[in-house]
Structure formats: structure tokens, C-alpha cells
Amino acid sequence: MERRSFVKKSVLASSAALTSASLFSNTLIKKEAVHKFKLKYAPHAGMFKHHAGADILDQLKFMIDQGFTAFEDNEMRNRPVKLQEDIAKLMKDNHMEMGVFVAHKIYWKDANLASGNKEFRDEFLKDIQNSVAVAKRTNAKWMTVVPGHVDLRQDDNYQTANVIEALKQASEILEPYDITMVLEPLNFGIIRACF
């Protein structure tokens, strides 16, 4: 056998072996990663944009490949309907569950639900009603609700009563659809008052 022929055949054989080994190992890695997590860890949109790019569907595919079984998207209600449907289909096809999404506009500086203001409450209830359609499209069972900022002009007991009344009315909207509100009291005024 000539040395050149031997070297060519050796290089070709080595590269074929490496390529098939690489394909085989990638297949194994993907199969091992699918549904690796037993708990429903639900990453957000944007968490893996440096791995999967800016497109939310590509990010979701990356999450699926990594073994996540749930997805959380605070901005879901603000996404176009077609994108919501595409996200829902991708999740359903890959046995992934929709986690929470924020159901209404959050007021970080103004007292909305705590104030008892009828316009704020009506806006909140309209957002809740509109979010029912989002939940149906995305197969969501939970919605995040944030009471908003404290009303520094009112006693805490009045504010609590106002928030409870708003949540009670929202519950009446959601109850027929078996959707659960997840109350997230991100109220820094109350947190300071506790310490």
C-alpha cells in the first residue's frame, strides 16, 4: 500500500468515525435532556436569549431541549394572538405546561387596587376578563395578579378591604373557567412596614 493512499484512507476513516460519534453523542444528549426536570421549573422568555437568540419560539425550543416542562411569560397577554397560538402549539406538541402570566397592567408608582378608585378597579377587571381569552389560547391555569402600590393617604385596613373587593370580583370572572389567580404582593411599602 502506498503511503499517500494509506494517509488519505486513514483521514477519511477518522473523520467519518468522529462525525458519526458526534452525531450519536448529540442524539444521546438530546434524548437524555428531554423532560429531565421532574419539578415544573418554568423559565421566562429572555432567560436563554444568549443561547437561543431573540426569537421567543427559538428560546422555547431551547428550553424544551434542556428538559424544562413548564414555561412562564409575564408578557404573554401583550403578545400578538398568532404568537400566543404558536407558543401554545409548540408547548402542547412537546408536553410542556404554561405557567403564570401577568393578567393586568401593574401600577408601580400609583395606588390602583388599594385606592378603591372605581376607574382603576374597572380597568383591572376588564384586563382580567381579557386575560381569560389569553389563558384559553395558551392552556394556562394560573394568572399573576399584583395589587400595586400602597395608598399613603389611607389606613392599611381600608386599603386591604379595597384590594379584597377587587380580587373578589376578579374571582367571580375566573371561577367558571377554573383559572387561579396567583397573588404576588410586590408592594415595597408593605415590605418596609413589616420590618
Backbone angles phi, psi at 170, to 5 degrees: -65, -40
Where are any strands of DSSP class E within the chain?
70-71, 97-98, 142-145, 180-183
Rounded (10°) CA dihedral 93, 57, 71, 106? -140
Task: Give pTM, 2 decimals.
Answer: 0.74
What local confidence, expressed as pLDDT, does residue 180 receive? 95
Residue 142 has phi, psi (to 5 degrees) of: -135, 145
Higher pLDDT, 171 or 20: 171
Query: Strand pairing partners for 142?
Result: 180
Mean pLDDT, the chain, rounded, equals 84
**Where does the pLDDT of residue 28 fall: very low under 50, low under 70, confident under 90, or very high at 90 and above?**
very low
Per-residue pLDDT of 84-109, as tens digits, reads: 999 999 999 999 999 999 999 999 88
Higher per-residue pLDDT: 178 or 108: 178
Under 8 Å CB-to-CB from 192, ≥6 apart: which residues?
none
CA angle 46, 52, 56 (to 5 degrees): 50
Closest-CA residue to 139 (of 82, 91, 180): 91
pLDDT of residue 9: 60
